Amino acid sequence: MSDTATIAPPGSPLTRRELEALRAVWDAGNGTDAAANLGISRHTLRTHLQNARSRLGARTTLEAIRKAVA
């Protein structure tokens, strides 16, 4: 993800940690590295991503990232 791109416009329904999880997956390219970079387990990362997808009405993590950036 570009440094100039911002995740979550003002008024986003996502929590800070959900945003961090989406950004970490985008930056790392996979969940294992994203979880390690955040210092959390894969299970915890999966929970944050699930919550973000649910709040955004997204079916996939990529769709959630796209919606969060829009």
pLDDT of 9 over the 90 cut: no
CATH number at residue 54: 1.10.10.10
Residue 5 lies in a domain: no
Residue 60 lies in a domain: yes
Structural domain boundaries enclosing 57: 16-69
Q: What is the DSSP letter of 56?
A: H
**pLDDT-based confidence at 8, cuts 50/70/90?**
low
Whether 19 and 4 have beta carbons less than 8 Å apart is answered as no
Domain total in the chain: 1
Q: pTM, whole model, 2 decimals? A: 0.82
Residue 7 lies in a domain: no
Which run of H or of E encompasses 9? none
Q: What is the arithmetic mean of pLDDT over 1-9?
A: 48
23-65, pLDDT tens digit by residue? 999 999 999 999 999 999 999 999 999 999 999 999 999 999 9
Q: Look at the chain and count its residues.
A: 70
Residue 58 lies in a domain: yes
Both structure tokens of 20: 């961090």
